[in-house]
Chains A and B, each alone.
Chain A
């Protein structure tokens, strides 16, 4: 007989393991979206674009 809090802890540990595994699989198949954000995509249409208007910095970490 398992204490309910142990069952919850075990379920959470399992979920974290699953997430970590899917992280590895995702990184291997699609590393591209972990790079800096596409800054230009966030600039409203009609706004002047170019080297002076866009600063390339690290964006999304996710």
Chain B
């Protein structure tokens, strides 16, 4: 087996706002951008690291999702209990400053957690929790 973790998906509710956050605030490059309106699939990832990507996708696009399920998903996204991802960096403090300066919603300033990780956290425009941890 030769598997890599290639692409993880996060939902958006405003494709342009999410694109701006990942490109301008996190500094990711845009690798593809297909669809239109709210039905946009945007692939972004860190410059110089083409092996891993995040796909920003419309939530509940599967036609088998019921109207009730779709409402629950959009409410959980708004509430901030739906999507989340863990990123990592060697310089947490500089990263935190840059992301904060980009006007992102701060959830947690750099903090050493009881389980040993030092991390901070933000919300992306769709309410996904973006946790960034420090690499030693």
Name A's B-contacting residues (CB within 8 A). Answer: 12, 15-17, 19-20, 22-24, 26-27, 31-32, 34-36, 39, 56, 58, 61-62
**How far is A15 from B78 in the complex, measured between Cα atoms in Å?**
9
Q: Which one of B75, B86, B105, B113 lies within 8 Å of A16 (CB-CB)?
A: B75
B108 close to A19 (CB less than 8 A): no
A-facing residues in B114-136 (Cβ within 8 Å): 115-117, 119, 121, 123, 127, 129, 131
Could you tell me the distance between the alpha carbons of A27 and B78 in the complex, rounded to whole angstroms? 13
Q: Is the CB of A19 within 8 A of B105?
A: no
Q: Is the CB of A19 within 8 A of B115?
A: no
Q: Are B75 and A27 in contact (CB under 8 A)?
A: no
Cβ–Cβ contact B81 & A27, under 8 A: no
Question: In the complex, are the beta carbons of A36 and B115 less than 8 A apart?
Answer: yes
Q: How far is the CB of A62 from chain B (nearest CB, A)?
A: 4
Interface residues, chain B, CB within 8 Å of chain A?
A: 71, 74-75, 78-84, 86, 105-108, 113, 115-117, 119, 121, 123, 127, 129, 131
The distance in angstroms between the C-alpha atoms of A56 and B78, with both chains bound, is 28
Interface contact A20-B83, CB-CB below 8 Å = no
B75, B78, B82, B84 — most chain A CB neighbours (10 Å) = B78
Neighbour of B115 across the interface among A16, A23, A24, A56, CB < 8 A: A56
Is A31 touching B117 in the complex (CB atoms < 8 A)?
no
**Could you tell me if B105 and A61 are in contact, using CB atoms closer than 8 angstroms?**
no
Q: List 21 A-B contacts (CB under 8 A).
A: A16-B75, A17-B78, A19-B78, A20-B78, A22-B79, A23-B78, A23-B79, A23-B80, A26-B80, A27-B106, A27-B123, A34-B131, A35-B108, A35-B121, A35-B131, A36-B115, A36-B117, A56-B116, A56-B117, A61-B83, A62-B80
